[in-house]
Chains A and B, each alone.
Chain A
Amino acid sequence: MSTSPDNENLTRRRLMMGLPLAGAAVLGVGFWKMLAGMQRGSFNPHDINAPVLNRPVPEFTVPDQAPGQGFSAQDLRGLTKPVLVNFFASWCIPCLAEMPTLMSLKDDLTLWGIAYKDRPENAANFLKHSGNPFTRLGSDHDGRIGMEWGISGVPETFLVGPGGIIRWHTATPLDVDTIRNTLIPLLEKLKAS
C-alpha cells in the first residue's frame, strides 16, 4: 500500500510532535533519577569519588604524634585485620563531635589516627580532653600525607582491609547510622572473605 501525501504529512506531523516529547521524557527520567538518588544519598554531585578506593594505601610515613607512635604504608600492608584510619585536627569542630563515636568503636575495631595540619601539642591536648581512641598516631603537619590519601578536609575516615587495601571511605563525621548500616556489614563481608 502506498501512502498518500496526506498520510505522509500526518506521519511527519506526528514525528515533529513526538520527537520533542520523547526527548523531554528522556530528560525528565534522567533528572528524576538524579534527584531521587540525591534524596536517598546514593548520588551526590559534589562527591569527590576518592580514587584510592579498592587500591593499596598510598606510599607514606607519618612521624609520631604524642601520645602515640607513627606508622607507614608498610605497617598497614602487613596487617591481617582491618584498621580504621581517621584524619582529624584539634581545630576541627566536627572532629570533636565525632570523638565519642570513635571512643565507642575502639574496643571492637583498631583505630589509627593522623593529625592533619595541626600543631603536635594542640593535637595532644585535643586527645587528652576528648579521649584517645587511637592505638597508633601520626602527625601530618603540612597536609602532604592527606593529599596522598586524597582528603579535602577533616574528618575523613578510611577502612583499610587486610593487606593494606582501602575498602571504604567517608568524608563526613562517623555516626551511629553509618556504622550500623555501612561499616558493620562491610566488616562482616571482609571477615567472610
Chain B
Amino acid sequence: MMPLLTPLRRLRRMLPALLVGVSILLAPVLVLAVDDPSEMLPDPKQEARAEAIGSQLRCLVCQNESIEDSGAGLARDLRKVVREHVAKGETDKQIMDWMVDRYGNFIRLSPPLSVGTLLLWSMPVLALLLGLTTAFFAYRRRAAAPAAPPPLSDDEKARLAKLTKD
C-alpha cells in the first residue's frame, strides 16, 4: 500500500509548483495585447507587422501605454484601424502618417527627430562625450601626480618599527 501511495503524494506536493510553472509558460501568450482573437489578422506575418506598428503608437487615453498594451476603447478602435490599413497593403510610413495627421506627433511613442527634439536625441552622445572628457581629465591628473611616495628613510623605518612593535 505504502509504495503505491507515495508517487501520488509526491504529485500532490508538486502541484503548486506545476501550476506556477504552467502559468509562467502561458504568461507570454496571455499578455499578447489583443483581448479578442477575432481582432487579429489571419495572416501571422501581417499580424506581426500590425503589432509592431501598434506598439509604436501611444494610447491617448492611458498615455504611457501603447495601443497594443492598452485596454481602452479608443486603443481597440485604433488597433482595428491599423489592421485594416495593414490588410490593405499600406506601408508602415503611410499608417504612421495617417495617425500623426489626426492625433499629432504625440501619438508616436518615440518622438521624431526635429529641431525641437534635437537636444533629446543627441543626449546619449552628449552624455558620453561629457563622461569621456571627465574621465580624460581625471586620468591626466592621476598620471601627473607622483606615481609612488619616496621610500622611507632609515630614521622613518626605525620609528615605524618602534611604533608597530607592540
**Which residues on B sit within 8 Å (CB–CB) of A117?**
73
**Residue contact A150 to B104, C-beta cutoff 8 Å:** yes
**Residue contact A150 to B74, C-beta cutoff 8 Å:** no
**Residue contact A49 to B74, C-beta cutoff 8 Å:** no
**Residue contact B103 to A153, C-beta cutoff 8 Å:** no
Within 8 A of B (CB), among A134-169: 142-144, 147-150, 152-153
**Residue contact A152 to B103, C-beta cutoff 8 Å:** yes
Does B81 make an interface contact (CB < 8 A)?
yes
Interface size on A, residues (CB 8 A): 18
**Which residues on A sit within 8 Å (CB–CB) of B103?**
48, 51, 150, 152
Within 8 A of B (CB), among A41-61: 46-52, 58
**Which residues on B sit within 8 Å (CB–CB) of A148?**
102
- With both beta carbons as reference points, the residue of chain A lying nearest to B98 in the complex is identified as A147
Interface range for B = 10 to 19
- How far is the CB of A43 from the nearest CB of chain B, in Å? 14
- With both beta carbons as reference points, the residue of chain B lying nearest to A49 in the complex is identified as B104
**Which residues on B sit within 8 Å (CB–CB) of A152?**
60-61, 74, 103
Interface centre among A48, A49, A52, A117 (most CB of B within 10 A): A48
**Residue contact A48 to B77, C-beta cutoff 8 Å:** no
**Residue contact B74 to A153, C-beta cutoff 8 Å:** yes
Does B23 make an interface contact (CB < 8 A)?
no
Per a CB cutoff under 8 Å, which of A50, A51, A142 touches B100?
A51
Known: A50-B104, A150-B103. 17 other contacts (CB 8 A): A47-B106, A48-B107, A49-B104, A49-B106, A51-B101, A51-B103, A51-B104, A52-B102, A143-B77, A147-B78, A148-B102, A150-B102, A150-B104, A152-B60, A152-B61, A153-B61, A153-B74
